[in-house]
Chains A and B, each alone.
Chain A
Amino acid sequence: MTTTTFKLEEVSCPSCVKNIEKATGRLEGVSKTKVLFNSGKVKTTYDEQKLDPNVIEDTINKLGYQVVSYH
Chain B
Amino acid sequence: MSKQQKQYIVISSALLIAVALLFIHLGISGFGSDVLMTAAAGVAGYPIAKKAYMTLRMRVLGIESLVTVAVFGALAIGEFWEAAAVTFLFVFGSWLEARALEKTRSSLKSLLDLQPQTASVLRDGEEVERSPDQVNIGEIVRVRPGEKIPVDGVIQKGRASVNQAAITGESIPVGKDIGDEVFSGTILESGYLELEARKVGEDTTFSHILELVEEAQDEKARTQQFLEKFSRYYTPGIMITALVVFLITFDVRLSLTLLVIACPGALVISAPVSIVSGIGNGARNGVLIKGGEILEQAGKVGTIAFDKTGTLTRGEPSVTGIKTFGMPKEQLLYLAGRAEAQSEHHLGKAVVHHVRKVTGQSPEPADAFNHLPGLGLSAEVDGQMLHIGNCRLMEEEEIAIPGEIETYLHQEEEQGKTPILVAVSRQIQGVISIADRLRNDARELIKQLYSEGFSVVMLTGDNARTAASIAHALGIDEYYAELLPADKVDAIRRLQFDGQTVAMVGDGVNDAPALATADLGIAMGGAGTDAAMETADIVLMADQLSKVSYSLGISKATVRNMKQNIYFAVAVVLLLILGVLTGNVFLAGGMMVHEASVLLVIINAIRLLGYGSEKPSRQPLFHHKKQVEAYGT
Task: Give the B-binding residues of A (Cβ under 8 A).
Answer: 10, 12-15, 17-19, 22-23, 26, 36-39, 41, 59, 62-64
B139: interface (CB < 8 Å): no
Which A residues touch B101, using CB under 8 A?
12
CB distance from B112 to the nearest CB of A (A): 11
Number of interface residues of B (CB under 8 A): 32
Instruction: List residues of B (23-82) whose CB comes within 8 Å of A's CBs.
Output: 50-51, 54-55, 57-60, 62-64
Given A39-B214, A64-B54, decide whether A15 and B60 contact each other with a Cβ distance below 8 A.
no
Q: Which of A14, A38, A39 interacts with B265 by CB under 8 Å?
A: A14
Q: Which of B50, B58, B98 interacts with A59 by CB under 8 Å?
A: B58
B218: interface (CB < 8 Å): yes
Known: A14-B267, A59-B58. 18 other contacts (CB 8 A): A12-B97, A14-B264, A14-B268, A15-B63, A15-B268, A18-B62, A18-B268, A19-B60, A19-B62, A23-B59, A26-B59, A37-B272, A38-B217, A39-B217, A41-B218, A62-B54, A62-B58, A63-B58
Q: How far is the CA of A18 from the CA of B57 in the complex (A)?
A: 15
Q: How far is the CA of A6 from the CA of B166 in the complex (A)?
A: 27
Q: How far is the CA of A10 from the CA of B94 in the complex (A)?
A: 13
Given A12-B97, A14-B269, A62-B54, decide whether A38 and B62 contact each other with a Cβ distance below 8 A.
no
CB distance from A66 to the nearest CB of B (A): 11
CB distance from A9 to the nearest CB of B (A): 10
Q: How far is the CA of A39 from the CA of B215 in the complex (A)?
A: 8
B276: interface (CB < 8 Å): yes
CB distance from B356 to the nearest CB of A (A): 49
Which B residues touch A64, using CB under 8 A?
50-51, 54-55
Q: How far is the CA of A19 from the CA of B63 in the complex (A)?
A: 9
B266: interface (CB < 8 Å): yes
Is B263 in contact with A39, judged by CB distance below 8 angstroms? no
Which B residues touch A39, using CB under 8 A?
214, 217-218
Task: Give the A-binding residues of B (Cβ under 8 A).
Answer: 50-51, 54-55, 57-60, 62-64, 94, 97-98, 101-102, 105, 108, 214, 217-218, 263-269, 272, 275-276, 598
Write the chain B residue with the least CB distance to A10.
B98
Q: How far is the CA of A45 from the CA of B467 in the complex (A)?
A: 52
Which B residues touch A41, using CB under 8 A?
218
Q: How far is the CA of A13 from the CA of B55 in the complex (A)?
A: 14
Is B98 in contact with A12, judged by CB distance below 8 angstroms? yes
Q: Which of B58, B97, B214 interacts with A23 by CB under 8 Å?
A: B58
Which A residues touch B59, using CB under 8 A?
23, 26
Q: How far is the CA of A64 from the CA of B59 in the complex (A)?
A: 13
Is B54 in contact with A63, judged by CB distance below 8 angstroms? yes
A-B contact pairs, 14 of them (CB 8 A): A12-B98, A13-B94, A14-B263, A14-B265, A14-B267, A15-B64, A15-B263, A18-B268, A23-B60, A26-B59, A37-B268, A39-B214, A62-B57, A64-B55
Write the chain B residue with the least CB distance to A25.
B60
CB distance from A24 to the nearest CB of B (A): 9
Which A residues touch B98, using CB under 8 A?
10, 12-13
Q: Which of A12, A19, A38 interacts with B218 by CB under 8 Å?
A: A38
CB distance from A15 to the nearest CB of B (A): 5
CB distance from A5 to the nearest CB of B (A): 10
CB distance from A32 to the nearest CB of B (A): 13
Is B55 in contact with A23, judged by CB distance below 8 angstroms? yes
Given A38-B218, A39-B217, decide whether A14 and B598 contact each other with a Cβ distance below 8 A.
yes
Q: Which of A19, A37, A59 interacts with B269 by CB under 8 Å?
A: A37
Which A residues touch B598, using CB under 8 A?
14
CB distance from B46 to the nearest CB of A (A): 13
Write the chain B residue with the least CB distance to A59.
B58
Given A12-B98, A38-B276, A39-B214, decide whether A19 and B268 contact each other with a Cβ distance below 8 A.
no
Which A residues touch B64, using CB under 8 A?
15
Which A residues touch B51, using CB under 8 A?
64
Is A38 in contact with B275, judged by CB distance below 8 angstroms? yes
Q: Which of B58, B263, B272 interacts with A38 by CB under 8 Å?
A: B272
Write the chain A residue with the least CB distance to B218.
A36
Given A37-B269, A37-B272, decide whether A22 and B60 contact each other with a Cβ distance below 8 A.
yes
Is B218 in contact with A63, judged by CB distance below 8 angstroms? no
Q: How far is the CA of A37 from the CA of B219 in the complex (A)?
A: 11
Write the chain A residue with the least CB distance to B63.
A15
Write the chain A residue with the least CB distance to B53.
A64
Which B residues touch A37, using CB under 8 A?
218, 268-269, 272
Which A residues touch B57, using CB under 8 A?
62
Q: Which of A10, A17, A36, A38 interacts with B268 by CB under 8 Å?
A: A17
Q: How far is the CA of A36 from the CA of B213 in the complex (A)?
A: 13
Q: How far is the CA of A60 from the CA of B63 in the complex (A)?
A: 17
Q: How far is the CA of A63 from the CA of B62 in the complex (A)?
A: 11
Which A residues touch B58, using CB under 8 A?
23, 59, 62-63
Which A residues touch B62, using CB under 8 A?
15, 18-19, 22
Which A residues touch B54, using CB under 8 A?
62-64
CB distance from A34 to the nearest CB of B (A): 8
CB distance from A41 to the nearest CB of B (A): 8
Write the chain B residue with the least CB distance to A36.
B218
Which A residues touch B275, using CB under 8 A?
38
3 smallest beta-carbon distances between A and B, as pairs: A36-B218, A14-B265, A12-B98
Q: How far is the CA of A52 from the CA of B218 in the complex (A)?
A: 25
Q: How far is the CA of A41 from the CA of B59 in the complex (A)?
A: 21
Q: How far is the CA of A39 from the CA of B216 in the complex (A)?
A: 10
Q: How far is the CA of A42 from the CA of B514 in the complex (A)?
A: 35
Q: How far is the CA of A37 from the CA of B275 in the complex (A)?
A: 11
Which B residues touch A13, using CB under 8 A?
94, 97-98, 265
Interface centre among A14, A26, A37 (most CB of B within 10 A): A14
Q: How far is the CA of A19 from the CA of B51 in the complex (A)?
A: 10
Which A residues touch B217, using CB under 8 A?
36, 38-39
CB distance from B434 to the nearest CB of A (A): 48
Which B residues touch A17, using CB under 8 A?
268-269
Which B residues touch A36, using CB under 8 A?
217-218
Is A38 in contact with B105, judged by CB distance below 8 angstroms? yes
CB distance from B54 to the nearest CB of A (A): 5
Interface centre among A13, A19, A63 (most CB of B within 10 A): A13
Which A residues touch B265, using CB under 8 A?
13-15
Write the chain A residue with the least CB distance to B64.
A15
